[in-house]
Amino acid sequence: MLVELRNVSKRYAMGDIWVDALKDITLSLGKGEFLAVKGPSGSGKSTLLNILSALDQCDSGTVQVGGVNIGKLGEHKRSKFRNRHIGIVFQSFNLIPVLTALENVMYPLTLRGVKNAKARALQALKDVGLEKQAGQRPTQLSGGQMQRVAIARAIVTRPDIVLADEPTANLDSKTSETIMALIQKLNREQGITFVISTHDDYVTSLASRVITILDGELVSDRLSGDVLASGYDR
């Protein structure tokens, strides 16, 4: 299994009160899956993604990604793990404004000292349908185009897994659909593993598997076929 979470719990202190952001989550994920994480705001979706990317650590339980026990790594090794294994797509795109689309996509490769960075970045831009915009800066691009650049930047390093926390939250519904169709295509055609958190039913309808988290608890885990048929998911 690419990802193995066993009995993972995480709490946050809010003054005198403890908030259980995740309660005893056990979950495995295989290579090539497209997992949607559903649940209302505050249910623990971001916390789960932050633990998978080793941005955050759980209080109890174990987290393995690509055979690495990331719960036990120190700060430096966690950042190294992230660079090697994880691609991240943000809801606010997080592109570097002074760099062109191509330079934004090249950036993580340049940091790693990859030699054919430009050719690989151009290919990634082509994969997201933006090769014509390679020379444009983020301000010259639409929201949907910016998110495409961000997706190209996340996949260009060939990560084991791409994590996206509400990637369509800042996009209109039409643009959201094209972004999700792109993610579905990358998953199907290139076998890229995606984990996406969302409120959006359209997003979950394209995923191959949907888990629902409510108040930190994993309350359902379904393969795509039965998601639409069930009345439970909201």
Q: Return the residues of window 13-42 that contact ligand ADP according to CB under 6 A.
A: 14, 19, 21, 39, 41-42
Asked if 166 touches ligand ADP (CB under 6 A), the answer is yes
| Element of type H or E holding 24 | strand 17-29
Q: How far is the CB of 162 from ligand ADP (least distance, A)?
A: 17
CB of 210 to ligand ADP, least distance (A): 14
Q: State yes or no: residue 165 binds ligand ADP (CB under 6 A).
A: yes
| 1 vs 19, beta carbon nearer ligand ADP | 19
Burial of 147 (0-12, 13-18, 19+ CB in 10 A): buried
Measured from the CB atom, the residue of 68 and 169 that comes closer to ligand ADP is: 169
**What is the phi/psi pair of residue 89, to 5°?**
-115, 130
Using alpha carbons only, what angle is made at residue 85 by residues 146 and 124, rounded to the nearest 5 degrees? Answer: 35
76-79, long-range: CB < 8 A, 24+ apart:
78/54, 79/54
Q: Does residue 91 contact residue 142 with C-beta atoms inside 8 Å?
A: no
Of residues 43-102, those binding ligand ADP (CB under 6 A): 43-47, 50
Q: Are strands 17-29 and 161-165 parallel, antiparallel or unpaired?
A: unpaired
Nearer to ligand ADP, 13 or 229 (CB): 13
CB contact set of 164 (below 8 Å; sequence gap of 6+): 88, 89, 90, 154, 183, 194, 195, 196, 197
Q: Is 104 in the site for ligand ADP (CB under 6 A)?
A: no
Q: Considering CB under 6 A, how many residues would be counted as binding ligand ADP? A: 15
Q: Which helix (H) or strand (E) holds 176?
A: helix 173-190
* Of 43 and 176, CB closest to ligand ADP: 43
Stretch that binds ligand ADP, among 12-20, 113-121, 180-188, 201-209 (CB under 6 A): 12-20
151 interacts with ligand ADP by CB under 6 A: no
In the bound state with ligand ADP, the residue whose beta carbon lies nearer, of 41 and 173, is 41
CB nearer to ligand ADP: give 30 or 42: 42
Determine the 3-state secondary structure of 64 from DSSP: strand
Residues contributing to the site for ligand ADP (CB under 6 A): 12, 14, 19, 21, 39, 41-47, 50, 165-166
